[in-house]
Structure 1
Amino acid sequence: MKYFSLILYYGFAIYLPKSNRPYAFKITKPIRYHICKNILEYCGKNVNIERLVYFGDGQGISIGDNSGLGVNCKIQRNVKIGNDVMMGEDVMIITNTHNFENCDIPMRTQGLNYISVTIEDDVWIGSRVIILPGIKIGKGSIIGAGAVVTKDVPEYSIVGGVPAKLIRSRK
C-alpha cells in the first residue's frame, strides 16, 4: 500500500492546488492527507500537507494533530513534528550529513548519516527556514522567516537570523 501511495502522491497529489484556493473545491487537503497517511510513519488528525511538499519515502517522519506543512517544503527522514505546528513555504528540514571521518577516502563514498530533528507542539516556523540535523525546537517557539537554525531552540522562544539567535522569550 505504501508504494502505491507514493506513486499516487508524487505522480498526482503533489501537484494539486493549494488547499485554500477556491478552485481546489475543498478536496485537495483531504486527498493529500489520506494518501500521506499511508506514506508517513505517523500522520495525526487534521494534518494539512500543501502542494509540492517533498518528504522522500516518509521513513521516520511523524506529524502530530492539526499541523501543517507549507508549500514546497522539503523534509528528510527521521523528523518528528508535534501537534499544532504551523510551517511556512519553502521550509527545509535537513537530517542527513555526509560522513567525512576518513581523509583517505572521498567524502562522497563514505556514506550518509541521519540525525533526527524534533519539533515540539505549538511551534510556528516562518517561510524559508532551514533546520539543520540534530536540532530540537522547543514547545511554543517561533522561528522567524529566513532563519537558519543551527542550535536547539528553548521552549517559548522567538529566534531569527543567520544563524538563528534568540530575539526574546514569549513568557
Structure 2
Amino acid sequence: MKGLKSLNQLLWLQRSLVRMRWYFLTRFWGMDIAKSSVYSMSVKFDRTHPKGIHIGEDSYVAFDVAILSHDMVRAMKVDTYIGDNCFIGARSIILPGVKVGNGSIVGSGSVVTKDVPAGSIVAGNPAKVLQSNIKVGRFGVLIKEEAAKVA
C-alpha cells in the first residue's frame, strides 16, 4: 500500500475540472452560476433552458443532483434559483421554477416542488420544511449552536 496516493492529493485536479466546467456552463450555455459556488461533476444541470439556472454565491450542490428549468408536459421554461450559502444534498431534484432561499439546506434525496424559505431545512418527497430560522455559514454548513438544536 506504500505506492497508493490519497484521493485528497487529487483534489486540485477535481477543482480544476469543476472550474473548466463552470466556464463552459456559464459562457457557452449561459447559466448564472456564481464563481464561488461548488458542485459535483455529476450534477445534472438542465440544458433545455440553460439560462433559467441560477446558483448563488458560496452554495454547494452535491453529487447526482438534478436542477430543472423546464417542463415538457406543461410547455414551461422558467427560472430556477438556488440562493447564497445553500447546501443541496446528494441525489435531490429541484423542480422547474423553484426558489431555494438564501442559507437553506435541502436534505439528500429530496424532491423540491415548492419554494424553500430562506434559512430553512427541507427534506422528503415532496420536500417539507423541518426547521426554520437556521443560521448557516459558507456552503450551507450549519453553525454549531444550530446543529445542537437539530440533533
TM-score of Structure 1 vs Structure 2, range by shorter chain: 0.7 to 0.9
Q: Paired residue for 1:142, among 76, 95, 105?
A: 105
- Helix, strand or coil for the counterpart of 1:66? coil
The letter for the 2-side match of 1:156 is G
In the TM superposition, residue 23 of structure 1 has moved relative to its aligned partner by 5.9
Q: Paired residue for 1:73, among 43, 49, 59?
A: 43
Q: Paired residue for 1:156, among 93, 102, 119?
A: 119
Structure 2 partner of 1:124: 87
TM-score by length of 2: 0.73
Q: How does 1:90-129 map to 2 (within 5 A)?
A: 90-100=64-74, 112-129=75-92
Q: 1:161 to 1:35 in 2, by over 3 A?
A: closer
TM-score by length of 1: 0.65
Query: Which is richer in helix?
Result: 2
How far apart in 1 are the matches of 2:17 and 2:129? 38
- Helix, strand or coil for the counterpart of 2:12? coil
2:80, 2:98 within 8 Å by CA — same for their partners in 1?
yes
Between 1 and 2, higher relative CO (CA 8 Å, sep ≥ 6) is seen in: 2
Which stretch shows the higher mean deviation, 26-35 or 77-86? Answer: 26-35
2:22, 2:35 within 8 Å by CA — same for their partners in 1?
no
Q: Paired residue for 1:58, among 29, 34, 37?
A: 29
The letter for the 2-side match of 1:168 is Q
- Helix, strand or coil for the counterpart of 1:139? coil
How far apart in 2 are the matches of 1:25 and 1:125? 20
In the TM superposition, residue 88 of structure 1 has moved relative to its aligned partner by 1.1
- Helix, strand or coil for the counterpart of 1:26? helix
| Percent identity between the two aligned chains | 34
In the TM superposition, residue 24 of structure 1 has moved relative to its aligned partner by 3.0
2:9 counterpart of 1:27: no
